Amino acid sequence: MAGEFELIGRHFNWPAPQGFLGVGDDCALLPVSAGHRLAVTTDLLVEGQHFFPDVDPEALGHKALAVNVSDLGAMGARPLGCVLGLSLPHVDDAWLAAFARGFRSMAELSGCPLVGGDTTRSSAGVVISVTAMGEVPLEGALLRSAAKPGDDIWVTGTLGGPHVALELLQGRHPEHTTVLEEVRVSLERPLPPVSFGTALAGHAHAAIDISDGLLQDLNHILKASACAAHIDYPALPVHGALQGLGPELVQRAVLNGGDVYQLCFTAAPEAKGRIVELARQHGVEVSVVGRIAEGSGIQVMDSPLPMGQDDYAGYDHFR
Amino acid sequence: MAGEFELIGRHFNWPAPQGFLGVGDDCALLPVSAGHRLAVTTDLLVEGQHFFPDVDPEALGHKALAVNVSDLGAMGARPLGCVLGLSLPHVDDAWLAAFARGFRSMAELSGCPLVGGDTTRSSAGVVISVTAMGEVPLEGALLRSAAKPGDDIWVTGTLGGPHVALELLQGRHPEHTTVLEEVRVSLERPLPPVSFGTALAGHAHAAIDISDGLLQDLNHILKASACAAHIDYPALPVHGALQGLGPELVQRAVLNGGDVYQLCFTAAPEAKGRIVELARQHGVEVSVVGRIAEGSGIQVMDSPLPMGQDDYAGYDHFR
């Protein structure tokens, strides 16, 4: 049986970039710049709660980091590096190798190198803790509290795919299982538009990543900014594979479906040209889906089905 | 039952210091300085593995942060802030309040404010993830690889207390239970000399915090620095309550006992006066306990009992 230090060495001892000190001391060291703030975000993922025991470990490694760099992008921050805590009931070499492969590919895609961590034995299932750090210009951070009446509301990528994938994996809607292959990747391998988020710093106002559903996450911006929002349902970018599904499922998936890890952000109408240009440079699809207004609450206009009270609620772990 | 956001708000929504953005956005923001490196360290603590289910939650909160700021001090870094991940099987308000109280008192003692986190339901026991960040001058970091032949080897505080406390709590050495009250605090409420570690940056060479035992942790310095060490056993600062215990237990506790969270560091003999003065300013007890030499390995001189192979081994989670 491998020792703890060997275990770390074998799967996670990737070379640290120039100017970094990686695994092997009391702390990792990351370069920091003047005139910036350090941005930091953390997530704790628990087997049975956030993922199934039989999940593809490579997808799990990918997603464990993706959800954190997504938060950096939603702040307008440039990733600096991340640390990983891993608690395992036993050492499964093939599982670890696949997990590390998925984590590393996301680290490379997002420019967020792994610089340290902690591994430990778990008496229960697998537990994964990821903390990602980035830097953002002092004045450019995309705060939830920065939306202004008159701002356009933008969404990157498409909506609804992860929600439909999750329901199909849970055995619901058996008449639509043929759709699963098309939507599964959006649930298991989200690709948050991190570098685009970094580029938005100073151009957009407020931003959030869509993890709990568009309405619930937009609502965080509205509360923090003391504003209201009008959403133009027909303008929402629906995942292409959802076309043949029932309107009830599609509407719920688009408005309330979580696990999207795309951005919802607001910006002055004058910034539209610049934002479209940045999106083109970063290969990101963007849509204007509504407008920030004075007041409070969200109004969804021209939805296929009437909106009920429940449609405005998201997911809350301890409710 | 309280929702997740309320739960965070109730126990951990402490005011963020000037220049910080705390809980409530995609990331926390921490100020960073020019000419410095960001230091980051993380720990994952699992119920049944690192603490018992019936542990005093206030002591647990204290220690969860203490072990991380200890790593910052061992790097010569000044704490900037920390994030906390907490996975709980159920919401126990009294438990959480006590945990938060212990965590907060350590945050205030060490100048390491909580700036963000993640809470989630656990299907198994309590899991705690802490990541602490600090900054260290570009050239002053106390790297494990920086020890030089001729350096004095220093230890802060005393050794052996936590090891004896743990064995007594496990029901061993029933003839010595009267000692428990004296050593228990060193196990449950370690006070790492963080500000002293910060002050050592630029004055000391290598440093490490003693978490797995003096010999095992010193050995990390020796391997990274390609050096040997001579330890003068009679110079080691033994915890005062260990006086009446058998020599075998005391020697093992002092050389191999973990959970100490004091510093072992090396410095040029010329730095001695400066180090003693810094220790006085920071209210930290320091002892010169040996010397770095050319070669490899550790030699313990004048120990009460002869040293065997096992005495040089520490603790390894997956062995």
- Inter-chain residue contact B224 with A46, CB threshold 8 Å: no
**Chain B contact set for A72 (CB, 8 A):** 26-27
> Could you read off the pLDDT of A88-143 as tens digits, one per residue?
888 888 899 999 999 999 999 999 998 888 888 877 789 999 999 999 988 889 99
Could you tell me which of A158, A147, A179, A188 has the C-alpha nearest to residue A59?
A188
- What is the pLDDT, as a whole number, of residue B302? 95
For chain B, domain boundaries: 4-137, 144-311
| Alpha carbons B186 and B106: distance in angstroms, whole number | 14
DSSP per residue, A136-180: EETTT---GGG--TTPEEEEES-BSHHHHHHHHHTT--GGGGGGH
Cα three-residue angle B21-B80-A82, rounded to 5 degrees: 85
Mean pLDDT on A5-19: 65
Chain-centroid distance of CA B107 in Å reads 14
Quote ipTM for the complex: 0.87
Residue length of chain A: 319
- Inter-chain residue contact A131 with B134, CB threshold 8 Å: no
Token representation of residue A108: 């490379």
Query: SS3 for B294?
Result: coil
Specify the CATH number of the domain B144-311: 3.90.650.10
| A119 Cβ contact list (under 8 Å, min separation 6) | A4, A7, A8, A85, A86, A87, A88, B44, B317, B318
Token representation of residue A41: 């975000």
Cα three-residue angle B43-B146-B314, rounded to 5 degrees: 45
> Could you read off the pLDDT of B182-205 as tens digits, one per residue?
999 999 999 999 999 999 999 999
B209 bridge partner residues? B263
Which residue type does B229 have? Answer: A
Find, in chain A, the residue whose alpha carbon is nearest to that of B261.
A26
Helices and strands (DSSP H and E) totals, chain A: 9, 11
Mean residue pLDDT of chain B comes to: 90
Chain-centroid distance of CA B269 in Å reads 25
B205 contacts B147 by C-beta, under 8 angstroms: yes
The whole-model pTM stands at: 0.89
pLDDT in tens, chain B (319 residues): 345 546 555 666 667 777 777 766 788 888 887 788 899 999 999 998 888 889 999 999 999 999 999 999 999 999 999 999 998 888 888 899 999 999 999 999 999 998 888 888 877 789 999 999 999 988 889 999 999 999 999 999 999 999 999 999 999 999 999 999 999 999 999 999 999 999 999 999 999 999 999 999 999 999 999 999 999 999 999 999 999 999 999 999 999 999 999 999 999 999 999 999 999 999 999 999 999 999 999 999 999 998 876 666 554 444 3
Stretch 201-220 of chain A: residues touching chain B, C-beta under 8 Å: 207-209
> Could you read off the pLDDT of A44-81 as tens digits, one per residue?
999 988 888 899 999 999 999 999 999 999 999 999 99
Architecture of the domain made up of A4-137: 2-Layer Sandwich (3.30)
Task: Tell me the nearest-neighbour CA distance from A243 into chain B, angstroms.
Answer: 32
**Chain B contact set for A144 (CB, 8 A):** 24-26
A65 contacts B168 by C-beta, under 8 angstroms: no
